Amino acid sequence: DVKVTQSSRYLVKRTGEKVFLECVQDMDHENMFWYRQDPGLGLRLIYFSYDVKMKEKGDIPEGYSVSREKKERFSLILESASTNQTSMYLCASSLRAVGELFFGEGSRLTVL
Amino acid sequence: RKEVEQDPGPFNVPEGATVAFNCTYSNSASQSFFWYRQDCRKEPKLLMSVYSSGNEDGRFTAQLNRASQYISLLIRDSKLSDSATYLCVVSANTGNQFYFGTGTSLTVIP
């Protein structure tokens, strides 16, 4: 069974803290994505990666960075968390550019 | 203009009813189309891909109209377990990007 695993389901952090969200997929997919989902706004793309060490900005990259050192792992980093980054973060992967997206269970981050 | 637009609903329908959702997209170069289902506080999961010829999976039928740039999802004989948010997803062949609608909320009432 295919699987995308996110390291933390629920996190509570303080303003200014550095936050790491980890995502691992076991399907040998080239493409990996980080989204955030907020009520009324839907899913918005933060960053995506189509290969190891490659990354592309999505629609809302400000305040975030990513790392893809290995094919199966894509990390999202909040260098200095702010309250407006309180959200549900979803990692996804796909085999091809237009193939099915597989999602992790999500990481619900609260920044106080 | 948003890449993908959906009526957010909510749609509240009785069990056994037929309900239809539409979704419009703005990029005429879009190549792939999907409906995802998302339960409350869970991740989206693929419900069905949408093909040019239309496709059916049990009580669910998806259609694509390229000329008018919309896709639709029809659910027949609604069940309580169909209650969820349905996301329309569109992808072009460029940029490795998928575009999501904001979702349509469905509640099936006993």
Q: Express each pLDDT in B19-51 by its tens digit.
A: 999 999 998 888 889 999 999 989 999 999 998
Contact check, Cβ <8 Å, A40/B97: no
- Going from the C-alpha of A85 to that of each of A33, A46, A56, B79, B108, the distances in angstroms are 17, 12, 20, 36, 33
**Banded pLDDT at A99 (limits 50, 70, 90):** confident
Q: Rounded to whole angstroms, how far apart are CA atoms A55 and A27?
A: 19
Quote the distance between the C-alpha of residue A90 and its chain's center: 5
- Going from the C-alpha of A71 to that of each of A20, A22, A58, A107, B77, the distances in angstroms are 18, 13, 19, 21, 43
Count interface pairs A-B at CB distance under 8 A.
55
Q: Which of B37, B98, B102 to substitute to test the interface with A, most A CBs within 10 Å? A: B98
Cα of B90 to nearest chain A Cα, Å: 9
**Banded pLDDT at B14 (limits 50, 70, 90):** very high
**What pLDDT score was predicted for residue B93?**
66
The answer to whether the beta carbons of residues A7 and A22 sit under 8 Å apart is: yes
Secondary-structure breakdown of chain B: helix, strand, coil percentages, each rounded to the nearest 5: 5, 55, 40
CB-closest option in A43, A98, A106 to B93? A98
**What pLDDT score was predicted for residue A12?**
97
Question: What's the token pair of residue A89?
Answer: 């973060």
Q: Express each pLDDT in A41-98 by its tens digit.
A: 889 999 999 999 999 999 999 999 999 999 999 999 999 999 999 999 999 999 876 6
**What pLDDT score was predicted for residue B29?**
86
Contact check, Cβ <8 Å, A48/B44: no
Q: Express each pLDDT in B44-98 by its tens digit.
A: 999 999 988 889 999 999 999 999 999 999 999 999 999 999 999 998 766 567 8
The sign one gets for the Cα dihedral B4, B73, A47, A61 is: positive
CA geometry: angle B33, B35, B39, nearest 5 deg: 155
**Residue from A92, A27, A87, A30 nearest A60 by CA:** A87
**Residue from B98, B109, B108, B107 nearest B35 by CA:** B98
Question: What's the token pair of residue A31?
Answer: 């493409």
Q: Which residues of A touch B (CB under 8 A)?
A: 31, 33, 35, 40-43, 45, 48, 50, 56, 58, 90, 94, 97-101, 103-106, 108
Question: What's the token pair of residue B38?
Answer: 């998302």
